[in-house]
Structure 1
Amino acid sequence: MRIIGIDPGLRTTGFGIVDKQGSSITYVASGTIATAHIDKGDLPARLKVLFEGVKEIVTRYEPDVASVEIVFVNVNPQSTLLLGQARGACIAALVTSDLIVSEYTALQMKQAVVGYGRAEKAQVQDMVKRLLALPALPGKDAADALGLAITHAHASDSFGRLAAAANTQRRTSAMFKAGRSY
């Protein structure tokens, strides 16, 4: 299974791709998509770069599934809204490529990769380097994206066991009853 991890950001979005075969996880590629060259006020152009960048990476590396970081509210609500739009552009690119997208918080990723949910970025970089036997530290955004891919590689086994043990069929009757969706 090939997994792409996405660490969304409006200025810099990290991506990381790993292959999982059995319990073995191997590095495929990583990097960033930057929008710093585009005027800060031109949000649509920046979102277009993110969307097209993710689509290009998906086309090049053909992942089977995707994992994306869940964004929480920051101190600045405007920054949170902008980050959410960047995240939306990335997710839209993944789902239009017919990928199933799983979402993880930064805390979950750090717990899975470092073993401590409040780990610093440098600790994540170091553990990603060790886990994937990389020759050098990956960049911060790429390390987070690789961490998300590693997190999904570990979690996917659990998800598979849960699906096999429970009825996970989506309900179609009364899907919008009382404003709820199932």
Structure 2
Amino acid sequence: MVQKIVIFIVSVLFFTILYFFVKFLYVMSWLNNLKIDYTITPINVISLIFSSVLTIWIGWYISKRLTEQRFEKEFLIRDLNSIETEIHYIENVFNSSTQVDISFVASKGNNIQLLKERFSATLKLMKISSFDDKKLNEKTNALFTQTTNFDSPQILTSDIDIQLINQKCSDVILETRNLIIQINNR
């Protein structure tokens, strides 16, 4: 509703200004002296063709470049979303079961490591040096250590500090979201 009111006010203002501008031109007799020349000169044709080609080329180049940048961003964002999904799996295992299979958690940790390596390799391929993924590496390594540093392959959740693991999971998720925001703002 507010948007419609703003559009109405802006259009009334525009037409009011246009009315006074045309009235000014009429009073100053600028419209009476208006003459249209119907002759075609070669320089006008060349100018018209050149400006048309230049306009089309600039539009094509800008749209192509924006599409390429969005495509590159989607690669990086997809990798970070995959890391976040794996973190959610780990978090769910610790929060929903009474006994945790450490080999499953370790395999999810290995998946996260592979996704991090793919993310870093993609950054290098795209020649993007402005993103620092060291914090992500530190936080995922801390999570991996916290979730797999046990003596037995099966462990009861009552013997685990679930709050610390949830905090480590949250740290990694927040870092991936921070990187996604940085990528989108690039």
Bigger helix share: 2
| TM-score, structure 2 as length reference | 0.24
| TM-score, structure 1 as length reference | 0.25
Which one has the largest radius of gyration? Answer: 2
